[in-house]
């Protein structure tokens, strides 16, 4: 899920993936593949910094320039000029996005700089320190709103859940219900906008897959296939006492001629990707004393 931003004067346009797990902005300056590359020599508003930039995805140097998103611009926004993108793997040269627009917290910035959301707030360009995401289930239906939310995009009322940390978009996951089977979890669940998958501990994901009648693709890989014609039950995540369900339309992914579960095992904690978020409108609110996430059926 990505959208357009611009950097520099005159504007240089980039497609960026919106990532709630990181806090920094970066775009490529040197990379293989058909990506737009930032050229600071072509921008009259470029600000040299030169500090080393190191994110979970890339390395490079820190730079400043005018950043435009939607119909607003912010001067002197610092971001990473990525020169090494090898951590992204061999698929990155063919990815539809050029860089990343982090929507995490200021304190989580790897570069130690002001995030765009905070910068916009300081400039008086946002109503409130929040953003909202409507991902949609298919096509180009998604929407990111900075500073507010769109009540026409969801049904009923938003259910707000406080985060388990002031610096991470994660909430408490009490249990996972698969049909009539309930699995106690009592762990944190972090939201993830960079992919569809729902990650979790191997044993827990194996239990979910077994209940659904899915089969592991190969021993130890943590990925499961399921009969495309099957009718598995809803799966419910109880987040801090509130139940949110997804159906097979969300968690069964068509891959060629087969269907795969969106559930993948192999990490110690739970991560809820867009297989979950695609069904809900999500408001990420940092405006009060404690960060919180509001969810409502999209």
**pLDDT tens per residue, range 112-132:** 999 999 999 999 999 999 999
Q: Give the mean pLDDT of the chain.
A: 95
The rounded distance, in Å, linking the Cα atoms of 229 and 245 is 21
Do you find a cis peptide bond into 277, omega within 30 degrees of 0?
Answer: no
**pLDDT tens per residue, range 247-277:** 999 999 999 999 999 999 999 999 999 999 9
Q: How many residues does the chain have?
A: 298
Domain map of the chain by residue range?
2-126, 151-297
Evaluate if residue 42 carries a pLDDT over 90.
yes
Within this chain, domains 2-126 and 151-297 share the same CATH topology: yes
Confidence of residue 155 (pLDDT cuts 50, 70, 90): very high
Q: What is the CATH number of domain 151-297?
A: 2.40.70.10
The CATH class for the domain spanning 2-126 reads mainly beta
Q: Are 275 and 199 in contact (CB under 8 A)?
A: no
């Amino acid at each position: 899920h990505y959208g357009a931003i611009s950097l520099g004067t005159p504007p240089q346009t980039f497609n960026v993936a919106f990532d709630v797990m990181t806090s920094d902005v970066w775009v490529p300056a040197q990379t293989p593949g058909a990506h737009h590359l930032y050229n600071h020599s072509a921008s009259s508003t470029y600000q040299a910094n030169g500090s080393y930039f190191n994110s979970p995805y890339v390395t490079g140097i820190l730079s400043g320039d005018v950043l435009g998103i939607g119909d607003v611009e912010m001067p002197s926004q610092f971001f990473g000029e990525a020169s090494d993108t090898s951590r992204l793997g061999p698929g990155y040269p063919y990815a539809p996005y050029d860089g990343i627009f982090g929507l995490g917290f200021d304190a989580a910035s790897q570069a130690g700089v002001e995030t765009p959301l905070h910068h916009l707030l300081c400039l008086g360009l946002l109503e409130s320190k929040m953003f909202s995401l409507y991902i949609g289930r298919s096509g180009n239906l998604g929407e990111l709103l900075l500073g507010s939310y769109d009540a026409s995009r969801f049904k009923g009322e938003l259910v707000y859940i406080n985060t388990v940390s002031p610096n991470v978009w994660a909430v408490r996951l009490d249990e996972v219900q698969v049909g009539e089977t309930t699995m106690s979890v009592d762990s944190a669940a972090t939201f993830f906008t960079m992919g569809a998958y729902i990650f979790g501990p191997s044993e827990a994901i194996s239990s979910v897959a077994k209940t659904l009648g899915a089969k592991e693709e190969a021993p130890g890989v943590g990925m499961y296939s399921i009969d495309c014609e099957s009718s598995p039950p809803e799966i419910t995540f109880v987040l801090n006492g509130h139940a949110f369900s997804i159906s097979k339309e969300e968690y069964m992914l068509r891959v060629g001629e087969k269907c795969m579960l969106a559930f993948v095992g192999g990490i110690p904690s739970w991560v809820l990707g867009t297989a979950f978020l695609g069904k809900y409108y999500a408001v990420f609110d940092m405006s009060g004393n404690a960060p919180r996430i509001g969810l409502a059926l999209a």
